[in-house]
């Protein structure tokens, strides 16, 4: 059993999908969780009802330039010490080639939420961790980080690829100060976004090329986050762990 008692974990995008599963896994392991959310008040209320102890939720807009720093400062004021940062929040916004306005908007949105906000949080976490003997960062990348995304989502793939480079740089640059950094690269995960696509094309089509013939449950991703948060595999720092059911194998 993974024991995270006494640790405080900051998780972005914590109230739905993979983020909600991460909170469940961390909470079950004994961690105190500070969860971030954007706009969905109903999901936030449901999470607080489910976990009346050892969970605090903070609402901040990571699409704004100041959102990440505001989130970190409020979380640190609340907890005093953060042991683990999980950059899970992300968006999947199209950046179509044919429409210059949508192209520009798509790049701006994807880079801000999927790369710049995590980078800002990493910066603040590194300073905090290094001063206190160490800490752990887990960044949620994507299968698209390796192979790119489709023509309508070039910006998404590029931002997630940048997140991998960021994670490797942190691991190499700050390991001697006790800062560990890992990236996860999920493929198809059964979230609301995936369910919308499955409803459109049919589950058989989605799973036809998946060796396990099933869409990854969020709990698989969450279990890996809890394991990495434990610090039980320090020398894997800098690694990217693919969670695709062998759909993408490097």
Give the chain's domains with CATH numbers: 8-91+118-145+159-243 (3.40.50.720)
Q: In the beta sheet, which residues pair with residue 87?
A: 139
- CB 19, CB 192: distance < 8 Å: no
Beta carbons within 8 Å of 12's beta carbon, 6+ residues apart: 19, 36, 62, 71, 86, 87, 88, 89, 117, 118, 121
C-beta separation of 19 from 43 below 8 A: no
Q: What is the pLDDT of residue 62?
A: 98
Q: Tokens at residue 49, please?
A: 């009802």
The residue annotated as part of the active site, out of 156, 174, 182, 248, is 156
For the chain, 250 residues long, give each residue's pLDDT as a single digit of tens.
899 999 999 999 999 999 999 999 999 999 999 999 999 999 999 999 999 999 999 999 999 999 999 999 999 999 999 999 999 999 999 999 999 999 999 999 999 999 999 999 999 999 999 999 999 999 999 999 999 999 999 999 999 999 999 999 999 999 999 999 999 999 989 888 777 768 877 888 888 888 999 989 999 999 999 999 999 999 999 999 999 999 988 8
With beta carbons less than 8 A apart as the criterion, state whether 72 and 66 touch: no
Listed in sequence order, the residues at least 6 apart from 193 whose beta carbon sits closer than 8 Å to its beta carbon are: 17, 92
What is residue 51's predicted lDDT score, i.e. its pLDDT?
A: 97
Contacts of 241 (CB under 8 A, 6+ apart): 182, 183, 184, 185, 224
pLDDT (0 to 100) of residue 147: 94
Concerning whether 156 is annotated as a catalytic residue, the answer is yes
pLDDT for residue 188 = 86
pLDDT at residue 125, rounded to an integer: 98
pTM exceeding 0.75: yes
CA dihedral 160, 164, 166, 169 (to 10 degrees): -170
């Amino acid at each position: 059993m993974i024991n995270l008692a006494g640790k405080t974990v900051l998780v972005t995008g914590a109230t739905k999908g993979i983020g909600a599963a991460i909170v469940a896994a961390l909470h079950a392991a004994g961690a105190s969780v500070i969860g971030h959310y954007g706009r969905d008040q109903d999901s936030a209320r449901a999470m607080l009802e489910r976990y009346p102890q050892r969970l605090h939720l903070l609402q901040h807009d990571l699409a704004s330039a100041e959102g990440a720093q505001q989130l970190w400062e409020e979380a640190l004021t609340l907890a005093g010490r953060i042991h683990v940062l999980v950059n899970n929040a992300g968006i999947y916004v199209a950046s179509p080639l044919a429409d210059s306005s949508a192209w520009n908007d798509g790049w701006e949105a994807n880079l801000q939420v999927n790369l710049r906000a995590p980078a800002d949080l990493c910066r603040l976490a590194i300073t905090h961790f290094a001063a206190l003997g160490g800490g752990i960062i887990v960044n949620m990348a994507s299968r698209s980080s390796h192979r790119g995304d489709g023509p309508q989502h070039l910006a998404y793939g590029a931002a997630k690829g940048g997140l991998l480079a960021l994670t490797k740089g942190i691991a190499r640059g700050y390991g001697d100060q006790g800062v560990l950094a890992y990236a996860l690269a999920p493929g198809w995960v059964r979230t609301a976004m995936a369910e919308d696509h499955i409803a459109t094309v049919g589950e058989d089509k989605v799973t036809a090329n998946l060796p396990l013939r099933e869409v990854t449950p969020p709990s698989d991703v969450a279990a890996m986050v809890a394991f990495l948060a434990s610090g039980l595999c320090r020398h894997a720092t800098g690694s990217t762990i693919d969670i695709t059911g062998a759909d993408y194998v490097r």
